[in-house]
Chain A
Amino acid sequence: MSPTQTIFPSHPPLSVKQLSMRYHHKPVLTDVSFSIPEGKTIAIVGPNGAGKSSLLKGIMGLESIIEGEVKFFGEDLNRKRLATAYVPQREEIDWDFPINVMDVVLMGRHGHLSLWKRPSRIDRDIAEQALKDLNMWEFRDRQISQLSGGQQQRVFLARALAQQANLYLMDEPFAGVDVATEKAIIELFSQLKQRGKTIVCVHHDLNTVGEYFDWIVFINARLVAAGPVEEVLTPENLAKTYGGRLSLLNDLTEQLYRSKVNKIHDEGA
């Protein structure tokens, strides 16, 4: 299967220029610039408190940025809202909210609807397909509090899918999910990539980053490195990103080595 051709090859799905963010006068991110290629999976990686989530929120305009410019397919977010789907962190969601799975997924269609329009048959079909893609169709009438953590994550991915976006921004989709969900997410990624969609994830697990993603953006209050996995996933970049935690770093280097070996092994198979 050949990847879908890009329509505007000159405009990357997401480009960030000299972005700086602060929280109560404390700098969170300083002068971050990068742009990402279309049709790839990109991980934003860095230690706790490095500003990964803030970066994603700043990009989505959910937290204010001090300086900088963010472009989506060469345009402002307001012109590309529907083409950009955001998946918030699972902890930020009120799981006791009285709402069922289907209604959450239908929220993915809201941007396409005017104020008083109810979702049409087509919107429902799209939501149904999204739920089926994530093996969650049988749970459509469940209240979201009655789902396991992994199922909850899949509901939110289905919501993003129902939006039929071209760029997906996800805040730690792999955090605290079961093996089945992890597999479902990987499967989803490869389906989306085949359709030329771009996926950006905040990711914290260095064991899997080389395996699940094509590209990495290393962040620690500043941009450390950004590029294809094979170029930037190096001990030097890890040391720069994770600082002086050497014992940890040795482990990481070893894990990194293993995950690379695994990848080569998988590709060879």
Chain B
Amino acid sequence: MINDLWILATASLVAAACSMVGVFLILRRQALLGDAISHSVLLGIVLAYLLSGSRDLFVMLFGAVAIGLVTAWLSDTLHRFGRIQADASIGIIFTLFFALGVILVSLFAGQIDLDQECVLYGEIAFVPFDTIYLGGMENGVEIGPRAFWTILVVFAIVLISILLAFQRLQTVSFHPSLAASLGINILFWHYFLMTLVSMTTVASFDAVGAILVVALLVIPASSAYLLAKSLKGMLWIAFAYSQVAVVVGYAVSYQLDSSISASIAVAAGILLALTIAIQLLNKRYRQKQPAKQFAPEQASSNA
């Protein structure tokens, strides 16, 4: 029972952090870059582990952020100087980095407790068994799963960043040139967001793996994009969608005895499909109604 709670709490934080970062990826039309970083951070984790010999949270975060930023920068450079299309250059860089990560994992399989299955899919059901101790392994106090604390720290970083820099993030997402004309360093904020994406994906790795983290980055934020009238609203709606997906997905996986993270991703997808369907029906219904209520909304171009 307590394990179920740890799993739910971890999944909930993973989904929350991913959905909030995802809002900015969707608004900036950088969903593919989120996809890319979520895969290439594998190389960052493996390299950080091989170089430091430690699985310490901050070492992992550092490795992931470094590789995440290199991915974003190298994709852009390849696009600009190699004159390769923007989306193609992203696809080239992240698959290359991911492949290098996979090779390193298989080469040093004995030293790294990451296997390829786990990297791709994650296994949130095993999260409760990898616990950490406060005050050392020997005589410290067990404080709960490593994955939970990792994502808690990252979620806090994401939340504080968004709260503090809300206005700037809004401006650079809405209109980069306008932001630049106001003297805002748009390159800094681009890499700042990429840092948040890298940290969020690496902290979500244990739980949902490299593929399903993309679902949580993109789907709740896309649902929110359809409904939101303000950035604040979009963040809240994305958060709500992500939490419903976690609860529904968990319940389904419990019933079907299926993979928890996959069920959460499917639940998020079904919620998006429902949202689109309801919007379409709503539009139809409105079109059939006499247009008296909506006419002034549409055609009020008077001064």
Contact = CB atoms under 8 A, between A and B. Distances in A.
Contacts of A81: 181-183
B259 interface: no
Q: Which of B170, B177, B297, B299 has the most CB of A within 10 A?
A: B177
B88 interface: no
B178 A99 contact: no
A98 B165 contact: no
A178 B182 contact: no
Contact of B303 (A57, A94, A99, A135): A135
A49 interface: no
A143 B164 contact: no
* Main SS class of interface, B: helix
Contacts, number: 91
B276 to A, nearest CB: 15
A57 B229 contact: no
Q: Which of A98, A107, A116, A181 has the most CB of B within 10 A?
A: A98
Contacts of A135: 303
Given A92-B177, A116-B164, A150 B182 contact: no
Interface in B148-182: 164-165, 167-168, 170-171, 173-175, 177-178, 180-182
Interface string A51-69: 0000001001110000000
Given A113-B167, A150-B301, A97 B181 contact: no
B177 A88 contact: yes
A99 B182 contact: no
B43 interface: no
Interface stretch (B11-19, B50-58, B130-138, B230-238): B230-238
A111 interface: yes
Contact of A86 (B173, B178, B234): B178
Nearest to B168: A115
Given A88-B175, A99-B174, A99-B231, A60 B167 contact: no
A98 B225 CA distance: 7
B31 interface: no
Q: Which of B27, B181, B183, B225 has the most CB of A within 10 A?
A: B181
A262 interface: no
B262 to A, nearest CB: 30
Interface in A170-204: 178, 180-181, 183-184
Contacts of B302: 180
Given A148-B301, A180-B303, A107 B230 contact: no
Given A81-B182, A98-B228, A98-B229, A107 B301 contact: no
A115 B301 contact: no
A151 B301 CA distance: 7
Interface string B292-303: 000001011111
B182 A62 contact: no
A120 interface: no
Nearest to B186: A62
B182 A98 contact: no
Contacts of A146: 297
B184 interface: yes
A92 B179 CA distance: 13
A57 B177 contact: yes
A94 B175 contact: yes
Interface of B: 27, 164-165, 167-168, 170-171, 173-175, 177-178, 180-184, 225, 228-231, 233-234, 297, 299-303
Interface of A: 57, 60-62, 78, 81-82, 84-86, 88, 92-94, 96-100, 103-104, 107, 110-111, 113, 115-116, 118-119, 135, 143, 146, 148-151, 163, 178, 180-181, 183-184
Given A57-B177, A86-B178, A184-B303, 13 more contacts: A62-B177, A88-B175, A93-B175, A98-B233, A99-B170, A99-B174, A99-B230, A107-B171, A111-B182, A115-B168, A143-B229, A151-B300, A180-B303
